[in-house]
Structure 1
């Protein structure tokens, strides 16, 4: 039997390196595949995205050949959740089978129009304060001018790309298992907006809360990994 692949998509400004420590903890029965976005990590020379469609199309080209007749699932945090959702639709529209499961983390449902977590036109100093407030960025990063000068343009480009996102309301729901995840102290993403993800699948839906804020993935790392392992193994039994 083929291993189930788990593709992981990063949040705005992040690279696939964020998920590297996961490799030692995701069960050996899962083929874990962190996906790199343009302009960072091993793709630092590739131009940054201008629109969200560019993000989706780029990642589609990266993974389409990796999806065969075997089972696969998506994990995305924040921007990565939106990417996972749109990518699943694109795969279906191109005649490919859907993911078995979708882990949608730290993001409200895609049909909800609201102000995003970060305004990319914010002056850099205020932007740094907002990022530190969200908790996903080490203060040490901003103490290194070279790192900060590399990171901030990537982050802004990602949020500008998300500003171009337009939800298409004429599509049928997906059929994947939707496993929605959030931090109990993530005040920017409320339970009602998370529950709205249930409207986008005909498959099973569940909502799970973990200790921590928007970046509860760091605060509750062990619990999160256990939850993902358990959930994925249940989908292939």
Structure 2
């Protein structure tokens, strides 16, 4: 069993549906996508949601975290190789977009099966500087303030020190991961369709910076804007999942009945 997927996720994924591998944002874990299967089903999606669990958080809390993007992608590529033999789509939000694209690009480089599509939200293309949520040497208070302003920490949890003490080391390491050398170049675009989502009021990543992924798209690129800021996937979850469900139906293995 791959460390990046739970046993139940793998078992549930054995169906005629396309697999939707979901990569978390900085500081996040697989639980960020815990409600997606039910909600996407309600919107008529034909995908099996498989949340990716990175080391050093939630069920993998005792494992060392990666701070080097290339090392993480090497490990994921090896661990997920068997699961990626089945028809699948990658989805990543913010840091997850960087990871999803980098994994797809790495697999393209070695001739492995590619996703049917890659869906990316709230992140800049790899030829641009990584978005900086906070200075690397920011204090805990400054980092909490920056994350809360973006919507990365729900207000209800700001007064829970145990939660914050567990979150901050993960967030710091994830921010280091994002500042590493990009995996790909615009001269070697990804040979699968790219679907991009941008928050209209995102103060960290602008719509034009999301659109810049077009330079890396070798099989077409579609851009959709969403209400809300950087974490529109939470603040406007139902609206976003309705859009995502419609998108994934384009890649359904079994045609949707009229």
Query: TM-score normalised to the size of structure 1?
Result: 0.93
Native 8 Å contact 1:37 1:59 kept in 2: no
Q: Distance in 2 between the 1:167 and 1:113 partners? A: 13
Q: What is the SS of the residue equivalent to 1:26?
A: helix
Q: Where does residue 150 of structure 2 map in the other structure?
A: 134
Would you say 1:66 and 2:80 are equivalent positions?
Answer: no
Give me the whole-angstrom Cα distance separating, in 2, the residues matched to 1:53 and 1:153.
20
Aligned mates of 1:94, 1:114 — CA distance in 2: 26
Answer yes or no: is 1:9 the counterpart of 2:23: yes
Matched residue, 2:12: none
Distance 1:63 1:171 in 2: 27
Q: What displacement does 1:210 show?
A: 1.0
2:237 maps to 1:221? yes
1:122 aligns with 2:138: yes
The match for 1:203 is 219
Aligned-partner Cα distance in 2 for 1:166–1:205: 20
* Superimposed CA distance per residue, residues 119-172 of structure 1 (whole angstroms, 9 cap, x where no aligned partner): 332111111111111012023333222211111000001111222233543752
**Residues 234, 115 of structure 1: CA spacing in aligned structure 2 closer, same or farther, 3 A cutoff?**
closer
Deviates more, 1:169-178 or 1:156-165: 169-178
Indicate how the Cα distance of structure 1 residues 57 and 118 shifts in structure 2: closer, same or farther if over 3 A, else same: farther
CA pair 94-52 structure 1, distance change in 2 beyond 3 A? same
2 CA distance for matches of 1:88 and 1:141? 34
Q: How many residues align structurally?
A: 236
1:100-111 to structure 2, matched below 5 A, reads 100-111=116-127
Q: Out of 49-58 and 195-204, give the one that drifted further.
A: 49-58
> Which residue is 2:64 aligned to?
47
Contact residue 111 and residue 167 of structure 1 kept, 8 A = no
Residue ranges of structure 2 left out of the alignment (5+ in a row): 1-14
> CA-atom RMSD, angstroms?
1.8
Corresponding position: 1:24 with 2:12:
no
Q: TM-score, normalised by structure 2?
A: 0.85
CA distance in 1, matches of 2:65, 2:180: 14
Q: 2-side partners of 1:13 and 1:142: how far apart?
A: 15
1:156 and 1:229 mapped to 2: Cα distance? 32
Do residues 174 (structure 1) and 182 (structure 2) align? no
- The Cα offsets for residues 74-114 of structure 1, whole Å up to 9 and x where unpaired, read as 11000000001100011122321211111110001111125
